[in-house]
Chains A and B, each alone.
Chain A
Amino acid sequence: MSVESVFPQLEPLLPRISKPVQYVGGELNATVKEWDSTTVRWALMYPDAYEVGLPNQGVMILYEVLNEIPDVLAERTYAVWPDLEALMREHGVPQFTVDGHRPLGAFDVLGVSFSTELGYTNMLTSLDLAGIPLRAADRTGDHPVVLAGGHASFNPEPIADFIDAAVLGDGEEAVGEITDIIRAWKAEGRPGGRDELLTRMAETGGVYIPRFYDVSYREDGHIDSYAPNRERVPATVAKRTTMDLDAWPYPKKPLVPLAESVHERMSVEIFRGCTRGCRFCQAGMITRPVRERSVEGIGAMIQTGLENSGFEEVGLLSLSSADHSEIGPLTKQLADRYEGTNTGLSLPSTRVDAFNIDLANELSRNGRRSGLTFAPEGGSERIRRVINKMVSEEDLIKTVSAAYANGWRQVKLYFMCGLPTETDEDVLQIAEMAKNVIRAGRQASGRKDIRCTVSIGGFVPKPHTPFQWAAQCDPDTVDDRLRKLRAAVNSDSDRSLGRNIGMRYHDGKPSLVEGLLSRGDRRVGRVIERVWREGGRFDGWSEHFSYERWTSGAAAELEPLGVSLDWFTTRERTEAEVLPWDHLDSGLDKEWLWDDWQDALDSREQDDCRWTPCFDCGVCPAMGTDIEIGPTGRTLLPISPVGVGSPVQNPSLIR
């Protein structure tokens, strides 16, 4: 049975909506295979707008990995904006992929990548538009397996009723294994139906099937236990770790959209994982250990990627890119290689203490000079010890002074508000730090017109981190501290300092909802469904987010069960409490996490295991992994000569 494109039905709707180009597909390096020539078919969804979802590296990697398998087809889909959603409902157009414009319901798997929990309502919209029952229990053999991945899948309990399966950790190898299971099951004539298919996935120990686990609750509302409710299902599910990044050089052919997207550059992941140990950082905790890509591997990916994409900027991506053991030689060699080709390099995420101005100059040697961004995260040294983000104000001042002296005019600083043990004084120190940056910058540059932008996000405690037990700060306190901070930035004997400081922040309310979705259990699913039925869409977008819809939904659905929004967010957990993700194994030893939480409360720091002895977080022994870092002392393969004004040379053009 072939599956027809819905584009003829979609096309007449496109002139009536905003930014129609995001729905037409046709990206450079997109793949459209013939439906009938394949046996296993994946739809990959990033549950946010196209402009956000398209550049997502996770989806891009899995899309390419899957399409390289001859009998596998993978297409992409993104959340449609409410203007198109309304027209699709009116005209009966189902949720479609942008590659072949095929209806989602026809695929074997719908893989949804959750970088953030605020995409949950968007998943419900697309399931509903696709005609796929919202609840996993209502699906039959005719429906796709709805599979969650991404960082939020380390606690998929709030969406447990809506998904069939979740994979924790790296996807490169997992998608192949799941494909093999589906291929075999289909070839055998689908024995045992959907239940058998999901059981085979569960049996691997690396795919979580929420429906195969029963949760019991105590009278006080706490979880009593999680237990598998059938045979062949393991008690815990482990995360996946791809060890050899050089064996997975994806994306080889980055997708280049026609529409504008949030990242107008190609990205190369230079290492995965981080052991700096910032206690708020879920990404750093759940992606251990550090695995570096080799210098040659990075160099080859960049050249292939530039040839295939035409991008003018290359992002050297990781959780803390200046920590790559060979970042200095690497950037110098890349800058040499791309001299005269207008190819810029950027490090989207850098630590002040691993950064220096030579590095910055190499990065901007051949391209546009991007801004400098650092994340001290906390204003006072005390709070930085609590969160284990040990960068000193002295380091920061030294680095930004050098930047201003070398011609940079603007520095961005990221902070969080609402951290455990935080007081007003900790937050007010942000103003002092920003003013010291301006003072030092004026002196270093001899100019008055330099700027410092301070961006502040509300802290949300996340599962699998030492702060998973912490009480989330309530929005009123966060908002109050930010008001006081704004006043402190502007009220000074030297008013001109404040004028050079920009402040960006959102109120604390969305963070509280994110907190509910991050540390919630299965009972939170009812809240998500109610909010969605009442119109909740695009919760990560302030113009679509409604705090009232979430608080009233939470009150209606949770309070009859004896719990509440506050119970899930602003309540501190005890050591003995069963957490909703205890049966999901990130490799981190729960006792170690608890000790690290106690160290945080005592403002005690923890070093990085890359440079000091192992501190027994538990990941390597639990997962059979090890740190993979250099320096190797190896160098980039010479590519000569590169082109003029372009990293590609085409002698056939020249007269």
Chain B
Amino acid sequence: MQKLRLRYAKRGRLRFTSHRDVARAFERALRRAGVPMAYSQGFNPHPKISWIGAAPTGVASEAEYVELQVVQALDPDRLAQVLDAALAPGLDVLEAVQAGPGGLAERMEASRWRIALPGVGAPELAAAVDALMATEHVEVERLTKDGRRLIDARPAVISAEVVDSAELAADSPDAVGIDMSDAGRSCGILVVVVRQTTPAVRPDDVLSALRVVAALEPPVPAKATRMAQGRLDDGGGLTDPLAHDRAAIG
């Protein structure tokens, strides 16, 4: 029995997949790739896959994590390669490591989200973000299965900065997945670090908060991407959650 940890991305039009869609796609890709999965016991055996959170439907991600258990020892790099080949383009396995000691979920303290707002200029966005950071509480409404509920979106927001898409270098890590051919029509990009709380504050909630504090109404739907998740370091950045595992293997 071996435990492996993977980072994968959800890109492009596949951002419209729900977490359940992604889970089904992974299970099937693992079978196509011939990965010797461990299964649970009982009348309804399931492959042993643990999901560490999941970006919401409609939100892309460069930093999703999943844990697999297999019954034969595998080479993690090879696994990443064959599983990526078996998955649809847009679900991309970025790296795999053998699990070291300690849980993965507890290494996820916050996420860095990049939210591109076509049709909203960077100065307008910056003003709205300043207004948001200047307040302590912003109640936003969220539609759930059980109707509307109010959550305070502000305390979870640790930092927020605004970038002009025209000033983003094509090779910047923050440029991944942004159509740079659109640079003629520059727009504001919000990069926001949000603590993982219960209930979770999602990119949509941050946008709702900007609507509440600054009446910001994007003319077309914003495109959000999770760029990273991990533990907060002293400088306000995020640590790599797989660093421990890599160190354990040596």
Contact = CB atoms under 8 A, between A and B. Distances in A.
Interface in B11-65: 13-14, 16-18, 20-21, 24-25, 27-39, 43-45, 47, 57-58
A641 to B, nearest CB: 11
Interface stretch (A289-297, A306-314, A501-509): A306-314
Interface stretch (A11-19, A130-138, A326-334, A417-425): A11-19
A24 interface: yes
Interface string A624-655: 00000000000000000001111111101111
Contact of B28 (A26, A260, A311, A649): A311
Nearest to B21: A258
A643 B39 CA distance: 14
Interface in A368-389: 368-369
Contacts of A309: 28, 32
B74 A16 contact: no
B225 to A, nearest CB: 14
B24 A260 contact: yes
A7 B28 CA distance: 27
B71 A645 contact: yes
Contacts of A310: 27-32, 86
Output the residue of A308, A312, A650, A653 with the most chain B CB within 10 A: A653
Contacts of B160: none
B82 A652 contact: yes
A259 interface: yes
Nearest to B72: A654
Interface string B106-131: 00000000000000000000000000
B34 A649 contact: yes
Given A309-B28, A369-B43, A654-B72, A260 B34 contact: no
A196 to B, nearest CB: 41
B90 interface: yes
A446 interface: no
A648 B75 CA distance: 18
B80 to A, nearest CB: 11
Interface in A330-386: 342, 367-369
A191 interface: no
A555 interface: no
A151 B230 CA distance: 55
Contacts of B74: 653-655
A20 interface: yes
Interface in B86-105: 86, 88-90
Interface residues of B, number: 43
Interface residues of A, number: 40
Contacts of A21: 16-18, 21, 57
Nearest to B70: A645
A26 B88 CA distance: 7
Contact residues of A: prevailing secondary structure: loop
Nearest to A407: B43
A601 interface: no
A256 interface: yes
A609 B13 CA distance: 53
A653 B34 contact: yes
A28 interface: yes
B31 A648 contact: yes
Contacts of A368: 43-45
Contacts of B82: 650, 652-653
A646 B43 contact: no
A306 B30 CA distance: 12
A365 to B, nearest CB: 12
Interface in B202-245: 220-221
Contacts of A342: 39, 45, 47
Contacts of B18: 21
Interface string A1-36: 000000100011011100011001110100000000
B175 interface: no
B144 to A, nearest CB: 14
Contacts of A648: 31-34
Interface in B155-194: none
A389 to B, nearest CB: 31
Contact of B31 (A7, A11, A646, A653): A646
A250 to B, nearest CB: 19
Contacts of A643: 34, 36
A367 B31 CA distance: 14
Contacts of A653: 33-36, 72, 74-75, 78-79, 82
Contact of A646 (B20, B35, B58): B35
A650 to B, nearest CB: 3
B36 A646 contact: yes
Contacts of B44: 368-369
A259 B24 CA distance: 9
Nearest to B223: A15
A312 B44 CA distance: 11
Given A258-B88, A645-B71, A26 B14 contact: yes
Contacts of A12: 220-221
A655 B73 contact: yes
Nearest to A652: B78
Contacts of A25: 13
A176 B73 CA distance: 49
Contacts of A14: 16, 58
A201 B97 CA distance: 60
A297 B17 CA distance: 35
Given A28-B88, A259-B21, A260-B20, A645 B73 contact: no
26 contacts: A11-B13, A16-B221, A20-B57, A21-B16, A24-B13, A24-B16, A258-B21, A260-B24, A310-B29, A310-B31, A367-B45, A368-B45, A645-B39, A645-B71, A646-B33, A646-B34, A647-B31, A648-B31, A648-B34, A650-B35, A650-B82, A652-B78, A653-B33, A653-B35, A654-B74, A655-B75
Given A14-B58, A258-B88, A653-B35, 15 more contacts: A12-B220, A20-B16, A25-B13, A256-B28, A307-B32, A312-B31, A369-B43, A643-B34, A644-B36, A644-B72, A645-B38, A648-B33, A650-B35, A652-B82, A653-B78
Interface of B: 13-14, 16-18, 20-21, 24-25, 27-39, 43-45, 47, 57-58, 70-75, 78-79, 82, 86, 88-90, 220-221
**Closest CB pairs A-B (n = 6):** A650-B34, A310-B28, A648-B34, A310-B31, A15-B221, A310-B32
